[in-house]
Structure 1
């Protein structure tokens, strides 16, 4: 039985061997060569597959290693702040500091954040839960009543020139009891090294901390006739002597205050950081902050209140330069107040220094702010929902010289320098629809700002700067969302540099 099975298995091989021997020599050689080639191909493919598999494993190990270091780099500061929030109650750090965010996605060495200090933990004070629950219920009832009253007051736009006050003390108490962040006194301004970025002054950091974490005493809605009303929160009533030089107490604000904008106006915060990074220093400090009783707890931009921007009669709005487009172009040609030379009588010059227009144009072009120099949207293709289209201002573009400029603001004690307010920028305009009308008549640009754009330091500095405002950073979906905004500004900066080279525009040091 076993022999028959063996012969049955070997029969095909024997028959194949006999047929192979009967074939001519040329055919046998060809068959042998084909078999050898097939065997060689099989061996080579097996070796290549094993090497590729080994390389893939090596790459995975490297990626796992470097990604861990990258997370340490970006999230190291975040984990420190999270430890502050969950680890216990500490005092707000008083040192100015900065986190260095690199642009590399992989690092061979772990990042080192200079001057990082681990906070000391302190024991939490135990409270009676029953007392807390009963008091919290009582406060919630008053909170709902007051918040409903606030929303009714803030929603409509009235034409009466008046100021309405709302008592905020009860709201502040309930917010502290429910908000762990406020309870632990952790600032949303994240600064971890010994000093703040060099483009921020000590006063900037101090104001940012107040706007982000200051205790709110009162909320006010201030109506100004046809001008949109302001929503102001009042904080500390005692202004330091160093800040009282040009400050004046008014019925609107008796101390430090902030103007609360809508969540859709969050470009105010980005504009503030861009202004400081470029060295212009013409915007008011702005941060992002959440109010539990406003806009469903969404992050709102809060801008510092500066009473020196307003005249004695608050209803008359801010100190504004009144110019038409034709007068503005004429003042650019005359270089008004250049080298501190007083313009001739009847020249049509305003009180603004010549260099201020160059700084304003640079800032407005990068953010595509048209509400100041191009309120009628004459320099680009607006959308149907834009204000200039809805109000019919596009018809004024036929006589551009008589189109008026708007929102050209200065401080009452300093009419030579502008203050950039209401910085509503647009990030959704493509490079083929930029407002080049903003650049007309400009022959110089500030040297430091252009050097930041040319040296490609804008992204790195903006990342470091915007990282300080934790609420804004998180509202933009973290670094990924911030990077998309910076991409838009970098593309516009590239267009601006090309324009400067093509038109021979000078780059000067502007210290005035």
Structure 2
């Protein structure tokens, strides 16, 4: 059996090798010339095969290299800091290319009324010199190099007796803060132009507030109102014109108001106002001053002298109304269709549509300092100002509660200006202040269309991205998204309120 298997294996081997043996035998019997020709043909075929394989491997390697380059470079553009884009960047009008940062520099401070902790060694008293302590002056000496403190009397202002000025003249041997040291603006616009909701004047004001050299800082007191910290920036106005202007104005030239770091919602409010198309707030940016608040980002708001037509001593052009008078004016629809109200109607100078715009804006940001200063429309906390000052107890007699911060320009009494926009992002949907919407029967169609378009987040991201200091102070994209999440949830509540209460959405061009 074993012998048969062995013989069978040998026969199969010979059968398989027979063609090769026959071919080699024929090759040996061929003449030498034919043998050389056959060998040459085989070599040519082999050489062609080797060359083709080598070329294919090089082509595959180039393709892999191109893919790796594309993988590492896609989505990254070499952006310049000027308004114009390089030729290699694919541009489209009104587009802002956002570069996201994965690392949050600081946690988002989403509460607008957090009070900074006072240091035990440095106590701040509410006096004329409260803005700059001795420690701040020492810091200023290091930053500015030379300081000239001038305590001006009220004689230069004539009739203004209750206004005190403390001026700080900064003569620059070097720039004041880090932002002005560099030539790179903190207002970053990478597309060919700014978003359409920001006007040319808005962009100029933002660049001035963020990048101008600080020439002088004043702390201005006027009556019982909180003091204003105003800085004067470098401008083309001559020194003589500045002095003449300063006789009737707190600012000679071009200025900005510096607020506390906890009032950062002023910047968000400005961009929300422009995105919604209301255009009722003053331009605001975030800026860091090395001589204030330990270099923390502060909201800086454009100074508008038209809000004080009779000077700071007389205060701003404020409408005096109680809650009951306000509700009565809403029912009478004052100044609608430019019809003058009767003298005994109790109407104010404000157009009827302005109340609807302000109520909508205040509801989204939960600003209660205008229409609900006593916190009657929600559950305040013990640390809220209305509770600390005892205003919350006035809600028993709501009709006699005075409205506050209803401001208009001296030459334009029909339209409001939204100032002191201290909003709250930490109120849940079950504790929103619906008192802000009480008596409102119409809302502007333009604003509601933006809220319904589901493009509010995209527009706010593009707008807020322009202010690099504010963007980074809120934690970059992650922190800004959290703020927009709050606004979007309130938008849903507002749209539900509109449908449930039959609020009309109409065109408001006045």
Asked if these proteins are the same fold (TM beyond 0.5), I'd say yes
Aligned to 2:170: 168
Q: Give 1:420 deviation, angstroms.
A: 0.1
8 A contact 2:370–2:406 mirrored in 1: yes
**What CA distance in whole angstroms lies between the structure 1 residues aligned with 2:478 and 2:289?**
25
C-alpha spacing 1:303/1:471, structure 2 compared with 1 (3 Å): same
C-alpha spacing 1:461/1:217, structure 2 compared with 1 (3 Å): same
TM norm structure 1: 0.70
Aligned to 2:304: 306
The correspondence of residues 465-504 of structure 1 with structure 2, limited to 5 A, is: 465-504=463-502
After superposition, give the CA deviation of every residue in 1:33-80 in whole Å (9 maximum; x if it has no partner).
xxxxxxxxxxxxxxxxxxxxxxxxxxxxxxx99x978x965xx47x63
Unaligned ranges ≥5, structure 1: 1-63, 85-91, 106-137, 151-158
Aligned to 1:402: 400
Deviates more, 1:449-458 or 1:277-286: 449-458
8 A contact 2:329–2:347 mirrored in 1: yes
Aligned to 1:440: 438
C-alpha spacing 1:388/1:288, structure 2 compared with 1 (3 Å): same
C-alpha spacing 1:141/1:256, structure 2 compared with 1 (3 Å): closer
8 A contact 2:215–2:232 mirrored in 1: yes
Q: Give 1:145 deviation, angstroms.
A: 8.2
Aligned residues: 387
Aligned to 1:421, the other structure's residue is in SS state: coil
C-alpha spacing 1:213/1:145, structure 2 compared with 1 (3 Å): closer
After superposition, give the CA deviation of every residue in 1:269-312 in whole Å (9 maximum; x if it has no partner).
00000000000000000000011111111110000000000132
Q: Give 1:93 deviation, angstroms.
A: 4.3
Aligned to 2:480, the other structure's residue is in SS state: helix
8 A contact 2:141–2:147 mirrored in 1: no
Q: Give 1:146 deviation, angstroms.
A: 6.9
TM norm structure 2: 0.70
Q: Give 1:144 deviation, angstroms.
A: 7.9
C-alpha spacing 1:225/1:394, structure 2 compared with 1 (3 Å): same
**What CA distance in whole angstroms lies between the structure 1 residues aligned with 2:288 and 2:491?**
32
After superposition, give the CA deviation of every residue in 1:340-383 in whole Å (9 maximum; x if it has no partner).
01001100000000000000000000000000000000000001
The correspondence of residues 331-346 of structure 1 with structure 2, limited to 5 A, is: 331-346=329-344
The correspondence of residues 210-359 of structure 1 with structure 2, limited to 5 A, is: 210-238=208-236, 250-359=248-357
Aligned to 2:8: none
8 A contact 1:98–1:191 mirrored in 2: no
After superposition, give the CA deviation of every residue in 1:177-228 in whole Å (9 maximum; x if it has no partner).
xx3x534411111101111101011100010000000111111100113211
Deviates more, 1:355-364 or 1:313-322: 313-322
**What CA distance in whole angstroms lies between the structure 2 residues aligned with 1:175 and 1:305?**
20
**What CA distance in whole angstroms lies between the structure 2 residues aligned with 1:452 and 1:140?**
46
**What CA distance in whole angstroms lies between the structure 1 residues aligned with 2:146 and 2:324?**
51
**What is the Cα-based RMSD across aligned positions, in Å?**
3.3
Answering whether residue 100 of structure 2 is matched by residue 99 of structure 1, we say no
8 A contact 1:199–1:276 mirrored in 2: yes
Unaligned ranges ≥5, structure 2: 1-66, 86-92, 103-137, 151-160
The correspondence of residues 196-211 of structure 1 with structure 2, limited to 5 A, is: 196-211=194-209
C-alpha spacing 1:484/1:333, structure 2 compared with 1 (3 Å): same
C-alpha spacing 1:141/1:378, structure 2 compared with 1 (3 Å): closer
- Structure whose CA Rg is larger: 2
Whose helix proportion is higher, 1 or 2? 1
**What CA distance in whole angstroms lies between the structure 2 residues aligned with 1:236 and 1:148?**
17
